[in-house]
Amino acid sequence: MSVDTPRRIVLLRHAKADWPQVSDHERPLAERGRKDAPAAGLRLAESGIDFDLAICSTSARTRETWKLAVQELPRRPKTVYEERVYEASPGDLIAVLNEVPDDVADVLLIGHNPGIQGLADVLAGASEGDAMTRMSRRGFPTSAIAILTYTGSWKGVEPGAAALADFWAPHE
Protein backbone atom coordinates (compact mmCIF):
# COMPACT_ATOMS: atom_id res chain seq x y z
CA MET A 1 0.00 0.00 0.00
CA SER A 2 1.36 3.41 -0.97
CA VAL A 3 1.83 6.13 1.62
CA ASP A 4 -0.22 8.27 -0.79
CA THR A 5 -3.25 6.09 -0.09
CA PRO A 6 -5.95 7.96 1.85
CA ARG A 7 -6.28 6.57 5.36
CA ARG A 8 -8.87 6.94 8.07
CA ILE A 9 -8.33 7.41 11.77
CA VAL A 10 -11.54 6.68 13.64
CA LEU A 11 -11.75 7.65 17.29
CA LEU A 12 -14.31 6.03 19.60
CA ARG A 13 -14.72 7.15 23.19
CA HIS A 14 -15.77 4.31 25.49
CA ALA A 15 -19.45 4.04 26.39
CA LYS A 16 -20.89 5.39 29.66
CA ALA A 17 -19.15 3.79 32.64
CA ASP A 18 -20.41 2.99 36.10
CA TRP A 19 -18.74 4.13 39.35
CA PRO A 20 -18.57 1.05 41.62
CA GLN A 21 -15.93 0.69 44.34
CA VAL A 22 -13.18 -0.52 42.02
CA SER A 23 -10.05 1.09 40.60
CA ASP A 24 -10.62 3.49 37.70
CA HIS A 25 -8.99 1.01 35.30
CA GLU A 26 -11.51 -1.70 36.28
CA ARG A 27 -14.72 0.39 36.02
CA PRO A 28 -17.38 -1.48 33.98
CA LEU A 29 -19.99 0.01 31.70
CA ALA A 30 -23.19 1.39 33.15
CA GLU A 31 -26.56 0.17 31.83
CA ARG A 32 -26.71 3.12 29.41
CA GLY A 33 -23.22 2.27 28.17
CA ARG A 34 -24.27 -1.30 27.43
CA LYS A 35 -27.07 0.14 25.23
CA ASP A 36 -24.96 2.84 23.55
CA ALA A 37 -21.95 0.65 22.65
CA PRO A 38 -23.87 -1.50 20.12
CA ALA A 39 -25.38 1.71 18.65
CA ALA A 40 -21.84 3.03 18.18
CA GLY A 41 -20.90 -0.28 16.54
CA LEU A 42 -23.86 0.04 14.19
CA ARG A 43 -22.75 3.58 13.29
CA LEU A 44 -19.23 2.26 12.60
CA ALA A 45 -20.72 -0.45 10.35
CA GLU A 46 -22.85 2.15 8.53
CA SER A 47 -19.70 4.20 7.83
CA GLY A 48 -18.66 1.47 5.38
CA ILE A 49 -15.09 1.53 6.72
CA ASP A 50 -13.47 -1.91 6.69
CA PHE A 51 -11.06 -1.47 9.60
CA ASP A 52 -7.67 -3.14 9.28
CA LEU A 53 -6.78 -2.57 12.93
CA ALA A 54 -8.48 -1.67 16.21
CA ILE A 55 -6.33 -0.32 19.02
CA CYS A 56 -8.14 -0.47 22.35
CA SER A 57 -7.22 0.76 25.81
CA THR A 58 -6.78 -2.02 28.37
CA SER A 59 -9.40 -0.58 30.77
CA ALA A 60 -12.49 -2.66 31.51
CA ARG A 61 -14.88 -0.03 30.09
CA THR A 62 -13.05 0.26 26.75
CA ARG A 63 -12.71 -3.51 26.37
CA GLU A 64 -16.44 -3.93 27.14
CA THR A 65 -17.35 -1.12 24.72
CA TRP A 66 -15.33 -2.79 21.97
CA LYS A 67 -16.77 -6.25 22.73
CA LEU A 68 -20.31 -4.87 22.27
CA ALA A 69 -19.54 -2.58 19.31
CA VAL A 70 -17.54 -5.06 17.22
CA GLN A 71 -20.50 -7.47 17.10
CA GLU A 72 -22.21 -4.95 14.77
CA LEU A 73 -19.35 -4.90 12.25
CA PRO A 74 -19.40 -7.16 9.18
CA ARG A 75 -15.81 -8.26 9.92
CA ARG A 76 -13.77 -8.19 13.11
CA PRO A 77 -10.50 -6.33 12.55
CA LYS A 78 -7.23 -7.34 14.15
CA THR A 79 -7.44 -5.95 17.68
CA VAL A 80 -4.54 -4.83 19.85
CA TYR A 81 -5.09 -3.98 23.52
CA GLU A 82 -2.62 -1.19 24.27
CA GLU A 83 -2.03 -0.06 27.85
CA ARG A 84 -0.54 3.24 26.65
CA VAL A 85 -4.02 4.33 25.44
CA TYR A 86 -5.29 4.39 29.05
CA GLU A 87 -4.89 7.91 30.51
CA ALA A 88 -3.07 8.96 27.31
CA SER A 89 -2.53 12.54 26.21
CA PRO A 90 -3.05 13.48 22.56
CA GLY A 91 0.73 13.30 22.12
CA ASP A 92 0.81 9.78 23.60
CA LEU A 93 -1.94 8.72 21.19
CA ILE A 94 -0.09 10.20 18.22
CA ALA A 95 2.96 8.17 19.29
CA VAL A 96 0.81 5.00 19.23
CA LEU A 97 -0.52 5.89 15.74
CA ASN A 98 3.03 6.57 14.53
CA GLU A 99 3.81 2.88 15.18
CA VAL A 100 1.00 1.55 12.96
CA PRO A 101 2.43 -0.40 9.98
CA ASP A 102 2.00 1.36 6.65
CA ASP A 103 0.12 -1.61 5.15
CA VAL A 104 -2.80 -0.65 7.44
CA ALA A 105 -5.26 1.73 5.77
CA ASP A 106 -7.92 2.34 8.42
CA VAL A 107 -7.48 2.37 12.20
CA LEU A 108 -10.06 2.47 14.98
CA LEU A 109 -8.77 3.80 18.31
CA ILE A 110 -10.95 3.11 21.37
CA GLY A 111 -10.01 5.27 24.33
CA HIS A 112 -10.84 7.89 26.92
CA ASN A 113 -11.34 11.58 27.41
CA PRO A 114 -9.71 14.00 27.63
CA GLY A 115 -7.18 12.26 25.33
CA ILE A 116 -9.58 11.18 22.55
CA GLN A 117 -11.23 14.60 22.26
CA GLY A 118 -7.85 16.30 22.45
CA LEU A 119 -6.52 14.03 19.70
CA ALA A 120 -9.51 14.79 17.46
CA ASP A 121 -9.01 18.54 18.01
CA VAL A 122 -5.23 18.38 17.46
CA LEU A 123 -5.36 16.19 14.34
CA ALA A 124 -8.26 18.07 12.75
CA GLY A 125 -6.48 21.39 13.18
CA ALA A 126 -8.19 23.95 10.98
CA SER A 127 -10.94 21.62 9.71
CA GLU A 128 -14.23 23.34 9.04
CA GLY A 129 -17.73 22.20 8.24
CA ASP A 130 -20.74 20.57 9.83
CA ALA A 131 -18.80 17.75 11.57
CA MET A 132 -16.41 20.22 13.21
CA THR A 133 -19.33 22.41 14.31
CA ARG A 134 -21.12 19.41 15.87
CA MET A 135 -17.96 18.21 17.64
CA SER A 136 -17.22 21.71 18.94
CA ARG A 137 -20.77 22.11 20.20
CA ARG A 138 -21.18 18.65 21.75
CA GLY A 139 -17.69 18.05 23.09
CA PHE A 140 -16.88 14.34 22.89
CA PRO A 141 -19.50 12.45 24.93
CA THR A 142 -19.28 8.77 25.74
CA SER A 143 -19.75 6.49 22.69
CA ALA A 144 -19.01 9.41 20.33
CA ILE A 145 -17.14 8.75 17.07
CA ALA A 146 -14.87 11.03 15.05
CA ILE A 147 -13.77 10.00 11.56
CA LEU A 148 -10.63 11.72 10.32
CA THR A 149 -9.01 11.38 6.91
CA TYR A 150 -5.26 11.42 6.47
CA THR A 151 -2.84 10.84 3.60
CA GLY A 152 0.73 9.77 4.30
CA SER A 153 2.78 7.32 6.31
CA TRP A 154 1.58 6.58 9.84
CA LYS A 155 4.97 7.86 11.00
CA GLY A 156 3.88 11.27 9.67
CA VAL A 157 0.72 11.62 11.78
CA GLU A 158 1.10 14.94 13.60
CA PRO A 159 -1.02 17.89 14.73
CA GLY A 160 -3.07 19.36 11.88
CA ALA A 161 -2.28 16.48 9.50
CA ALA A 162 -5.84 15.15 9.23
CA ALA A 163 -9.27 16.46 8.34
CA LEU A 164 -12.44 15.76 10.32
CA ALA A 165 -14.80 13.99 7.89
CA ASP A 166 -17.62 13.05 10.27
CA PHE A 167 -18.65 13.22 13.90
CA TRP A 168 -21.42 11.28 15.61
CA ALA A 169 -22.64 11.13 19.18
CA PRO A 170 -25.50 9.04 20.54
CA HIS A 171 -28.61 10.94 21.62
CA GLU A 172 -27.99 13.68 18.99
Summarize the chain as % helix, strand, coil (round to 5).
35, 20, 40
Q: What percent of the chain has pLDDT over 90?
A: 86
The total of structural domains in the chain comes to 1
Q: What percent of the chain has pLDDT over 70?
A: 98
Kindly state whether residue 1 falls inside one of the protein's structural domains.
no
43-60: buried (b, 16+ CB within 10 Å) or exposed (e) per residue?
A: bbbebebebbbbbbbebb
Kindly state whether residue 158 falls inside one of the protein's structural domains.
yes
The reported pLDDT for the residue numbered 126 is 73
The DSSP symbol for 73 reads S
How far is CA 123 from its chain centroid?
12
Taking residue 73's Cβ as centre, other Cβ atoms within 10 Å add up to 18
Q: Which whole number is the average pLDDT over 30-41? A: 98
Taking residue 150's Cβ as centre, other Cβ atoms within 10 Å add up to 20
* Domain membership of residue 11 as a residue range: 6-168
The reported pLDDT for the residue numbered 139 is 87
Taking the model in full, what pTM does it have? 0.96
d(CA 77, CA 56): 12
DSSP tally for the chain: helices H, then strands E? 5, 6
Kindly state whether residue 102 falls inside one of the protein's structural domains.
yes
Kindly state whether residue 133 falls inside one of the protein's structural domains.
yes
**Residue 1 scores a pLDDT above 70:** no
Q: List pLDDT tens digits, range 121-166.
A: 999 987 788 888 888 888 899 999 999 999 999 999 999 999 999 9
Kindly state whether residue 83 falls inside one of the protein's structural domains.
yes
Q: Identify the three-state secondary structure at position 165.
A: strand
User: H helices of 47-89, where?
Assistant: 60-70
Q: What is the CATH number of the domain that holds 96?
A: 3.40.50.1240
d(CA 168, CA 42): 12
